[in-house]
Structure 1
Amino acid sequence: MRLFAAVWPPRQAVGELDEAVESLRGLPGAERLRWAAPDAWHFTLSFYGEATEDQARALGTRLARVAARTTAPVPCRLSGGGRFGDRTLWVGLHREDSDVAALKKLAAATTAAGRRADLLPPDVPASFHPHLTLARAKGRGAIDLRPYVERLAPFRGSGWIARELLLVRSTLPAGGVPGERPRYEPLERWPLGP
């Protein structure tokens, strides 16, 4: 099974972002993008890849410790937009130093948990670029995402506190079904913060 650790935004934050994204779907070229469903929007903290049942159990134990040791709130606010080349469109995290630092610290701890569960090699850097993926280019083609990023630039969602750390199973589409998307199944959840 493919696993990752994540934080999911609350309904209010998703609703605000969904309103902003709705205007993007009418831009030229939008039909060449595969849009992520709002109920699948999340911040991936660490991606672990394929894991056995035993590795998943070990990882769950370690992530429970990470969540229990998270003593400070993890503030978040969806903000602005960006792109990875001409393939992936995303919305970012508001750049208050404390906000980014808290989420980066949580991401580093989930990466360390993956190392200890033998899912990540010891030399994998704990790099984390907080983003929530909105859309990916369909097929192998590229699309000019700059107009989308420009349209997202003024977006500032309401602030919220991440309340849970999730261990999620990702099931990729089998292929051949138009519009099929990955499915995300939370396997375990742990409360965060004091």
Structure 2
Amino acid sequence: MRLFTALWPSEEAVRHLSSTVDRLDPDLVAEATAGLRKFRFTAPQRWHLTLCFHGDDADQQHVTDRLERRVAQLRAADPPRLRLAGAGTFRGVLWTGVEAATEADDITLRALVRAAGGDPHDYRAHLTIARWVGGRADRELLPGLFADYAGPWWQCRELTVVCSDLREGAPVYRTVHRAAVPPESSG
């Protein structure tokens, strides 16, 4: 089963970024994406931060048990305060970055990455907002559309284990497990 552990931004954060995307000048977008094949913004309901990709043949029970066990060890940590801000590109991807409000929030975010099974040292918090299949993006022009972007602050209240079902078109996401951050006390 193709699984990943994700953190989803708040509805307010999604609305804010979606509104920013909707207000982009079409001429500037056309200029910034010239030469890119099949450039498209991803749907806001798909916007998430992948903390760990578990692979195409991951064992759901193992992934969820490990996540619960590791998140339970974070009981003293407050949910991190985050916001979406800035932008950059990877090959075929335009992303907006994620800022932590304080150093403690950054430490907690990295602890959540570790709890999910990811490597907190190599982790670059980001949210994919657009994709393309070919061509080279201008390293400044395309991310420059969001260079001054800073969304509202929000707190991460849960992690989700998501099954990504590859079908024609975009993958279909289905949440198979939720883990509260911090974990709800059992007594």
TM-score, normalised to structure 2's length?
A: 0.83
| Other-structure match for 1:8 | 8
| Other-structure match for 1:107 | 113
CA distance in 1, matches of 2:74, 2:124: 20
Cα-Cα RMSD: 2.3
Paired residue for 1:164, among 158, 162, 168? 158
| Secondary structure of 1:156's aligned partner | coil
Question: CA offset at residue 60 of structure 1?
Answer: 0.9
| Secondary structure of 2:135's aligned partner | coil
Q: Cα deviations across residues 90-142 of structure 1 (Å, max 9, x unaligned)?
A: 00112543333221121022116xxxxxxxxxxx88621100001111x3333
Q: Cα deviations across residues 121-169 of structure 1 (Å, max 9, x unaligned)?
A: xxx88621100001111x3333335323112111111111100110001
Q: How many corresponding residue pairs?
A: 174
Q: Cα deviations across residues 54-106 of structure 1 (Å, max 9, x unaligned)?
A: x2111111111223222312221111111114x21000112543333221121
| Other-structure match for 2:124 | 129
Which amino acid in structure 1 is aligned with residue 129 of structure 2? L
Unaligned runs of 5+ in 1: 113-123, 175-179
Question: CA offset at residue 10 of structure 1?
Answer: 1.3
Percent identity of equivalent pairs: 35
1:61 and 2:50 aligned? no
| Other-structure match for 1:91 | 96
Which amino acid in structure 2 is aligned with residue 110 of structure 1? A
Question: CA offset at residue 8 of structure 1?
Answer: 0.5
| Other-structure match for 1:141 | 135
Question: CA offset at residue 182 of structure 1?
Answer: 1.8
Aligned partners of 1:169 and 1:187 also within 8 Å:
yes
| Other-structure match for 2:42 | 36
Describe how 1:164-183 pairs up with structure 2 within 5 A: 164-174=158-168, 180-183=169-172
The worse-fitting range, judged by mean Cα deviation, of 28-37 and 144-153 is: 28-37
CA distance in 2, matches of 1:193, 1:159: 18
Paired residue for 2:57, among 35, 43, 51? 51
The worse-fitting range, judged by mean Cα deviation, of 103-112 and 151-160 is: 103-112
CA distance in 2, matches of 1:185, 1:15: 21
Unaligned runs of 5+ in 2: none
Which amino acid in structure 2 is aligned with residue 8 of structure 1? W
CA distance in 2, matches of 1:151, 1:60: 38
CA distance in 2, matches of 1:12, 1:125: 26
CA distance in 2, matches of 1:125, 1:6: 14
